Amino acid sequence: MRRSADIDALQHVLGAALGTGEPVCSLPQLGVIASAFADVDPEILKRPTLVGGGAPYTPTGPAPTPQALDELVRRAEALGVPQILLPHVRRTDDTSALRAAGFVPVAAGTECVARLPGEVDEALRIRVGARQLADLRRRHHAVSREVTWERVRLSELAGKPWARDAFVELHQHHAESHGGHDNPYNTGALEALATGELAERAEMFVRRRGDTVVQAGLTVRSHNGRGSYYLTQAIDHGDPVARRNLYVASLYRLYLDARRSGLDWVHLGQGDAATHRRLGADLFVPLDHWLRAPDLVALEEEEVSTEPVLSGFAAPPVATVTVPGPARFRHRPRFDLLDLSSNTNAFLGTESHYPELDTADLARTYLATIAKLPGHHGVGELTAEHLLFTSGAVDGVMLLLAALASPGERVCVTPPTFELYSHFARLLRLPVVEVPLRGDDLNGLDTERILAADARVTVLCDPGNPVGTRLDRAQVRELVDRSRGLVVIDEAYVEFSEHPSYAELIGQHDNLIVLRTLSKAWGLAGARCGIALAHPGIVDALRRVQVPFGFTNASQHAVRDRLTNSSRVLAGIQRIRAEREWMAAALAEHPTVERVFPSEANFLLVRFHKHERVVDQLRDAGILVADTARLVPATCRITIGTRRANKTLLEALSSAP
């Protein structure tokens, strides 16, 4: 919860649960929170502690201001309490005041949020995959056949004592089964919550078999009215329905209730990110407990900046500026704030919200997905800080030239290659040096000439466009090792190749940038999603040039869907490879064809005997191919289509006079 008044209300609930009026207790009385302090001096665990946040209730509190900390210290002194605990503070908050006041951070896990941008099943299918969604739905329907589902406003709880008594009893059994007797959800706590500031926004959810309550939990709606905090649930594990994983089934039901109420997210509390990801969470924020105690020694290294050190390859103007606007705060969650900062239209629904800027989890999903592909060994060692989403790979080219090169510095390209490399370089007043590819298959680098050009940026396309061949890997490695400048490898078509990606080398070379796209093999040309993989310091330089909010929510959802449900993509790649070989063989035997170049992409470069006549004939037949004769004489680049489309092209060639 990001409002201090709500955290104050939870402190009042904790005081009522303890029976002390004030939220003062020993750390073990806070249940699961105490486990984070397992390595501290046992004396610290025994001392009375003033709890300044919402623990043991799960919502996070804002990092306090210096004035609020001063008041908290005075309050502890007045109570004669030697220790102060501020639980569940987001690591992304500004915690400098806490350090200055003598507080020490202790890692507290991760808070997990499930954002629901639309219909629940579609959002979950995109996020967890069709198979996991089917499992969630199956559990939900199985449970719903056996037990009821009821919601009770806490402001109306006095009229339903059976719900109150069952809630307290289930939570007491839960506390005892976990080795403790301190129940933070006892009668006193529930009464304080039902009569306090949060009563109108808090609800109890109950599942009953007849008159027997088998599950009871609590949620609180956020102060901005857009989401719901899941606080707790306790289950009668002796009931047969508990074996159907009642916890999971109820989370799914909470998602359904949230969307029916017009809410955009459900806060799942603190927990294991991997587990909650399988349950639909897509936002994960690391947390710390902050403890001020006599003679407490820091349990971890001094705080360091979460931002990478800017690469020395950054152009001088880039080194003097920060990441622009709101993108600078991309790691600071905004979902539970009342946002009146963006000057958008508040009356036209979610489409009026700017896109999500924190794409770290989507980056991890991408890396985890491609790490499973052949030829991507080592990619799993990269982190979200090595990745930047761009508006297609061509946007990545423009960004890196603008961020990493200054007017007058040379850019080296290896024709025949993708023409926009030179186009963007010249627009940015960067001289272009051309070092043509060698060999019959146009896949050999003139390494010495490239190095002699002493370019600030050398751009390679591998597999090549328009040729489709792979470059000599030993030559590429030598170029990366010996170059004083940056080497950029555009791998737009690498998924169609049987040879490895260069992404695995990112962690070893700070002068290597690999560009990827989801427009080709992944079939998302309309989503405009490119990817730059590089040293974090280079990614930071690119981010300083990038326009914020260019990666729309619709594109993010489409990308997550395709990555999570990738079986069709992988099957499609195999079909394209097979069709490419069939088409190459058919064209090689065709009388109009002089040569078919070898290809590891989803296209074929074909040289024709009578090139201009063939192009005209195909145009007359309503078939569009890329005329690449200005790059490689007498050639066309032909995309691999369906078998029907490919046969239509062959028939059109055969009908040429």
Does the pLDDT at position 391 exceed 90?
Answer: yes
- Whether residue 48 contacts residue 24, with contact meaning beta carbons closer than 8 Å, is answered with yes
Report the pLDDT value the prediction gives residue 8, as an integer from 0 to 100.
Answer: 87
CATH number 3.40.640.10 given to 355-565: yes
**Has residue 656 got a pLDDT over 70?**
no
Q: Tell me which amino acid residue 292 is.
A: R
Among 473, 519, 527, residue whose Cα is nearest residue 496: 519
Q: What is the mean pLDDT of residues 237-249?
A: 89
pLDDT at 306 over 60: no
Confidence bin at 458 (pLDDT 50/70/90): very high
Please give the pLDDT value at position 302. Answer: 44
Mean pLDDT of 300-304: 46
The b-or-e profile of 288-316 (16+ CB within 10 A means b, else e) is bbbbbbeebeeeeeeeeeeebebbebbbe
Residue 609: pLDDT above 70?
yes
Highest mean predicted confidence (pLDDT) among 7-11, 176-180, 378-382, 463-467 = 463-467
Cα–Cα–Cα angle for 564, 566, 567, rounded to 5 degrees? 135
In the chain, DSSP finds a helix count (H) and a strand count (E) of 21, 21
Angle in degrees, CA 81, 85, 88, rounded to 5: 165
Section 160-176 average pLDDT = 92
pTM for the model stands at 0.90
| Residue 58: per-residue pLDDT | 65
Q: Nearest CA to 10 among 337, 284, 267, 231? A: 231
Higher-confidence residue: 573 or 11?
Answer: 573
Residue 300 has pLDDT above 80, yes or no: no
| 48 and 82 Cβ atoms separated by less than 8 Å | yes
Average pLDDT value for the chain: 92
Least confident of 19-23, 451-455, 481-485: 19-23
CA distances from 474 to 49, 406, 481 (A): 63, 30, 11
Model confidence band, residue 20 (pLDDT cutoffs 50, 70, 90): confident
* CATH, domain 4-292, list 3.40.50.2300, 1.20.1250.20, 3.40.50.300, 3.40.630.30: 3.40.630.30
Q: Does the pLDDT of residue 180 top 80, yes or no? A: no
Q: DSSP code of 438?
A: B
pLDDT in tens, 631-654: 999 999 999 999 999 999 999 999
DSSP 3-state assignment of 503? helix
Tokens of 203: 């609800």
What confidence category does residue 178 fall into, taking pLDDT thresholds of 50, 70 and 90? confident
Confidence of residue 301 (pLDDT cuts 50, 70, 90): very low
Phi and psi dihedrals of 186, rounded to 5? Answer: -85, -175
Residue ranges per structural domain of the chain: 4-292, 355-565, 569-654
Dist. CA 543–CA 522, nearest whole Å: 24
Q: What is the pLDDT of residue 127?
A: 92
Query: Is pLDDT above 90 for 37?
Result: no
What Å distances lie between residue 435 and 233, 452, 482, 511, CA to CA? 66, 10, 17, 20
pLDDT (average), residues 288-299:
82
Of 421, 406, 425, the closest CA to residue 459 belongs to 421
Residue 328 has pLDDT above 90, yes or no: no
Structural contact between residues 396 and 515, judged by C-beta atoms closer than 8 angstroms: yes
Higher pLDDT, 459 or 181: 459
Name, in order, each residue with C-beta under 8 angstroms of 217's C-beta and a sequence gap of 6 or more: 204, 205, 230, 231, 232, 233, 234, 250
Q: What is the mean pLDDT of residues 26-36?
A: 84
Cis status, amide bond into 317, omega within 30 of 0: no
pLDDT the model gives residue 349: 78
Q: In terms of CATH, what superfamily is 569-654?
A: Aspartate Aminotransferase, domain 1 (3.90.1150.10)
